[in-house]
Chains A and B, each alone.
Chain A
């Protein structure tokens, strides 16, 4: 299957700092989805990227899809304690593969 690797696995930031998680694949992806899972909760869909070089924003969150469609990133500007959780990318291709997730911890 098309494996997607996420880095970093964990990230501690001070509230107000920026945060970025990356999703990488060795093969071209049809599209990428991003999900957020709060501690003790279930994954919730954030966004889907389909086009090469696509950039989408949701308030303080910026999502990018690489030009070669082999990587994607999620950037949070000025993190808040409400951003705490694990962020997953998902290769919504044939093998339905989720990345291992990046756990974000925010110190107030």
Chain B
């Protein structure tokens, strides 16, 4: 939807290894978000960005970092993956600010940390 692609779509890694998930959008959305989805927890915000090089923490940011060097790309990095970070990660983007406008989601990246 709305030209949002995530890569990789699936990844299996080992505890302690670094992992980077990429979100790419083609619609020039200013705002971008990373969520994780786990059974029983719904969607939880990890980090978000309100412009190039402008990022902030969400609800569950510990163990994650992000970068946004271009409007179209928002990277999520797990510096040292842990089993608790096994999850499905969704990137989202939107034109408007926090309190208005729909979010467009990517198809998700399933990460398994062994």
Contact B43 A98 (CB under 8 A): yes
Contact B1 A1 (CB under 8 A): no
Using Cβ atoms and an 8 Å threshold, which residues of chain B touch A31?
Answer: 99-100
Q: Residue A43 contacts which of B43, B48, B59 (CB distance < 8 angstroms)?
A: B43
Using Cβ atoms and an 8 Å threshold, which residues of chain B touch A85?
Answer: none
Q: Is A80 an interface residue (CB 8 A)?
A: no
Interface residue count for B (Cβ, 8 Å)?
A: 25
Q: How far is the CB of A35 from chain B (nearest CB, A)?
A: 8
User: Interface extent on A, as a size class?
Assistant: 20 to 34
Does more than half of chain A's interface fall in helix, strand or loop, or is it mixed?
Answer: loop
Q: A92-B99, A100-B41 are in contact. Are A44 and B1 (CB under 8 A)?
A: yes
In the bound assembly, the distance between CA atoms of A97 and B90 in angstroms comes to 15
Residues 46-93 of A at the B interface (beta carbon under 8 Å): 48, 88, 90, 92-93
Q: Is A28 an interface residue (CB 8 A)?
A: no
Residues 27-51 of B at the A interface (beta carbon under 8 Å): 33, 35, 40-45, 48
Q: Residue A96 contacts which of B1, B42, B48, B106 (CB distance < 8 angstroms)?
A: B48
Contact A96 B100 (CB under 8 A): no
Q: How far is the CB of A75 from chain B (nearest CB, A)?
A: 21
Residues of A within 8 A of B (CB): 1, 30-31, 33, 35, 41-45, 48, 88, 90, 92-101
Q: List 27 A-B contacts (CB under 8 A).
A: A31-B100, A42-B1, A42-B90, A42-B105, A42-B106, A43-B90, A43-B103, A45-B102, A45-B104, A48-B100, A48-B102, A92-B98, A92-B100, A93-B99, A94-B99, A95-B45, A95-B59, A96-B45, A96-B58, A97-B59, A98-B35, A98-B42, A98-B44, A99-B42, A100-B40, A100-B42, A101-B42
